[in-house]
Amino acid sequence: MPTVIHILEFCPFAHNFIGKWAKGSRFPPATTERIRFMKYLDIEFDYINKPSLEPEFIPFGVWADAYLAAADRPFEVAVERDNGNISVFSSFLREESYEAANYRYMERFIKFLLWSVGGWKITICGCEETAAKLQDAYREGGSREFDVHFADDVFERGLLVEITDKEHFPKANEHPRPVGGHLNGCRIGFDAGGSDRKVSAVIDGTSVYSEEVEWFPKLSEDLSYQYNGIVEAFKTAASKMPRVDAIGISSAGTFVGNSPMVCSLFIKIPRSQREEVKTIYDRAAKEIGDVPVVVANDGDVTALAGAMSLGSGSVMGIAMGTSEAAGYVDAQGRILGWYNELAFAPVDLNEDATVDEWSTDRGVGCKYFSQDAVIKLAPRAGIELDESLSLAQKLKEVQKLAEAGHEGAREIFVNIGVYLAHTLSLYARIYDLKYLLVLGRVASGIGGDLLIEECNRILKEEYPELYDRIKVMLPDEKARRVGQSIAAASLPEA
């Protein structure tokens, strides 16, 4: 067996708030012995803990460590988003004889940046021959056409990939936005979900009224359905207070300012009504009065709720439900203005990994940290699910089996914990993390306990520096008391 070498080196993914990064009896039994080296695109790599139900899993972060160990040709990437905000990252490629590995690394690296940071313009300096191939992929009609269209929807301009020299390479221009934690006065907090909407009336940080109403915005082609539902919730909360000083809104979607640019809640609304969709929350708030309004992605508000309950920043929240939803607040409790759409960020380099139906890409987060992951692994765990059941019902069936002690069902959640540990080593390259809160229906019950336990076990064994630095946890009772709608109420200053 080859000698194992542990590498500690500067993280080429990281920008200014990260320094160094360390690499470091079940069904069927998970090995705690070093596995034989694997090879992908002529790069040998190894890791200790493989998912027992998907041993062909190639963690991007693990493979990247091995690839970068002999990479010495530098390149830089600038990602520009709205209002001239620019994030800059640096990394390396190997010598030109590793052509396939070089392209795979650069393309997955930039794909990861596109869905974590997000932007409409990618500028690359260095390694021009590989960058040119990537330029061809990220264009109308290219292999990454979905990413191009998404950027166009968010920023209303096509995704542009440019190659430049050092003299013309842009400088970083970051403007994190302080939000949340404002609890003074009479506030409305609204949480717009895909199957229910929640609203709270909050006076000086105390909820005096909360309600949860079932609704189905994803099915409506009539925008008045969503608009009237939002206004009704606002008016209900307003009626419970002597006045309204501010309105904070947590919503699924990708936002520029308060405008939902891509949002599943309005997925069936005709494109001809796009301008009405973009102003829906501001218009609804006007029905209450001329008060400060702040809209934030629900993932970021989840992270904010965690930060408020923990009394600490550097918090990421990941909700494992219909898809993977993520959010982040930095050490100062600020939102970075990033996409945080980790559902489409690469996790697994296996070229036969499950295809995401929407983005048409393989090995992305939504297939590892959602109900899709549970359903994908069920046959491998010896579980046959009735095809007539909905995805949510299939998840519940597996959860019932796990609660009853079914060994295969429990191993599914253990495997998700394996995915999470190896992927967290990737997320920690660009997010400064102290806490990771895992939420969502996949993490409820015994399944959540199993995946958290396994994730922490692997971090301790394979990524000890991350284990010492990051606490991976389910939300405690204090975090649940803060709640999404109450955290949303704290968004605006008043």
Position 482 scores a pLDDT of: 53
Cβ-contact 151, 261 below 8 angstroms: no
- DSSP-assigned states of every residue in 331-373: TTSEE------GGGSB-B--TTSPBPTTT--BSBGGGTSSHHH
- DSSP-assigned states of every residue in 136-180: HHSSTTSTTHHHHHHHHHHHSS--EEEEE-GGGPPPPB---EE--
The DSSP element (H or E) to which 229 belongs, if any, is helix 223-238
At 323, phi and psi to the nearest 5?
-140, -165
pTM of the model: 0.86
pLDDT for 199-214, tens place per residue? 999 999 999 999 989 8
β-bridge partners, 479: none
As a whole number of angstroms, the distance between CA 171 and CA 385 comes to: 52
**54-93 as b/e: b if 16+ CB within 10 A:** beebbbbbbbbbbbbeebeeebbbbbbbbeebbbbbbbbb
For residue 152, give both structure tokens.
Answer: 């166009």
Mean pLDDT on 336-360 = 94
Positive or negative: CA dihedral 47, 447, 426, 457: negative
Residue 205 contacts by C-beta under 8 Å, 6 or more apart in sequence? Answer: 183, 184, 490
Position 411 scores a pLDDT of: 98
Share of the chain above pLDDT 70, in %: 91
As a whole number of angstroms, the distance between CA 466 and CA 47 comes to: 16
Share of the chain above pLDDT 90, in %: 77
**421-441 as b/e: b if 16+ CB within 10 A:** bbbbbbbbbbbbbebbbbbbb
Position 494 scores a pLDDT of: 83
For residue 291, give both structure tokens.
Answer: 């008060």
As a whole number of angstroms, the distance between CA 246 and CA 239 comes to: 14
Residue 7 C-alpha from the chain's centroid: 27
| Residues, the chain | 494
Position 179 scores a pLDDT of: 81
pLDDT for 6-48, tens place per residue? 222 333 333 332 222 223 333 333 444 445 578 999 999 999 9
As a whole number of angstroms, the distance between CA 464 and CA 23 comes to: 8
Mean pLDDT on 466-494 = 83
Position 23 scores a pLDDT of: 30
The number of beta carbons lying within 10 Å of the beta carbon of residue 295 is 25
